[in-house]
Structure 1
């Protein structure tokens, strides 16, 4: 794994380091005052210089807003893409993408451990349009090939996955998707563009819940799409405006602020997670640790090849079953019991009863004794002490 991440995509910032792009891409000083932070353009409409005489292309903030434009330019630069689009939530971004890519009768392959909200979107919403989906282990290229049909229009990937930390070989599946005439969609939320850049590996679309590591402070909800294909970018932008679930200016500003420290935060998340994994591996109550940084993880070699480091998400299973796992979650004190992830503070949750309750009884049901950690950037020693007492 390389020590420095640079962006070499077609977004106009080739050669600059990630850390520089995170701070400067899209963040142009205000031309009126020289303010180094782009203003929050909390505005719905814009004065026109005569009918159709738009200033900078702005007419109505659902269609475009300068603060959102700054964020979208930043997103494209960080992922090495041509176009970034910011939405009100990660699921709003997914909804726009699916309505753009799919028509009734089309087929999609989704992971066998997809995020519960994504599964719900497919199972309860998209399926009502006449779109079919099937479940496959996306870490197994042969399994994905076997799931393809003549109607497959997209292969949907999370890597690392939520909550089982599965790893998918993005480059290998990009080849599969291209051969099938399908789009490869990669949810990059767990890794962030600092640790992994799917477009450079052949993916067609990158999806983010910006609520998580991009925002980084548990104070904003947002979603994003990043693409290279200019035609697809135009289609997505059309649907973004037509459907209207856009990021508001204050939310866009908060995400831009969070992104400036993404690199240093992700380094600390990964360092803390590594120390916690070492402790969990030796704890007598822990029966299994799921983390792609472990040499025994089935996706370790692929993760080491396509990621800068292994991230801040850790899942583990405990002896005693579901009730024991719930007890550990309830006993934690420094780890806050809560859903979501990617903030500076550490979170603990029971996926089976919380974030992944929607997949209960399906092929995506998660183990009842599973606990998921979002490891924050606090003192690793304090986090270890809290986990030890919670495990008893």
Structure 2
């Protein structure tokens, strides 16, 4: 009798599990389907819908709005749309059904950008191969909490350690990598594909094995939304203390934590700092205020952006700080921005400011604008230049 009951329970659980796996669908729908010519087909079962469209960064934008394309309803009630051939890249998208934004229920790959959740897919056979998880030695990604005496907070940080770190006795250099406005300590590891990029570069011997430390650049936040004791409100793009200078002022606390808890080389020649947008400003401000700390600086899609009436000490006498940084020396100051980036003018003005004091830098101008597509490329190009 006990065996019969057990068999019944197992049989019932199996049926329930299968229902969960199939989501109750009678017919498997593949979406997105990457075709042999690198076109992509999207499908959605929405028999009662009047209109279905797909929006995403693989479509030409409509001004500042994301590109959109209409799906066509088939005789079976399945809506579909096939793109033209797409270039190698990581793309994001979502559906709009009768005016309501929905995710693709057939695509399990989702990612958060500030408060927006989107589906993603990768077109390979090109630069996006660097973003893929390959059969190479892998590093580790951990989330740690550290004490920031300056901010009087216990804060969360994401740390990538290179392949073999756990079994090695070697000490490694460190790249401190900062996110943009609206981001947090999850942004570079998720949207930036930092672990995949570093694994692949190190495996190809294009980059030195290094730690990558990804901090939360919002000084009043202890951690990413949902990862702290704070109320689980909707994430916001602009934090009220964005230009307080507190992130930059407190950054030595991060360096101290890393160098007290990890096997890293504790000298200027083995420290780099880089960031995108807001994080690019943080990087240039932090490095100028700590001219003996970083030999490598990366400024991605950014400039000196703080309000002119700011009273934060880290922004005061900034030209003099840049002159001191120049006089003390550094190995690489790397600036990159897209031709259509909305911060292009401010970036140009910052370069003119550097030129006026004879501050040497390397400049890269790429296609595109203020996008993760560019920032992933910048990391892929910047990391191999470090610690050589």
TM-score of the alignment, normalized to the shorter chain, above 0.5 = no
How high is the TM-score relative to the length of structure 2?
0.23
The structure whose residues are more often helix, as a share, is 1
Q: Which has the larger radius of gyration?
A: 2
The structure whose residues are more often strand, as a share, is 2
Instruction: Considering Cα pairs closer than 8 Å and 6+ residues apart, tell me whether 1 or 2 has the greater RCO.
Output: 1
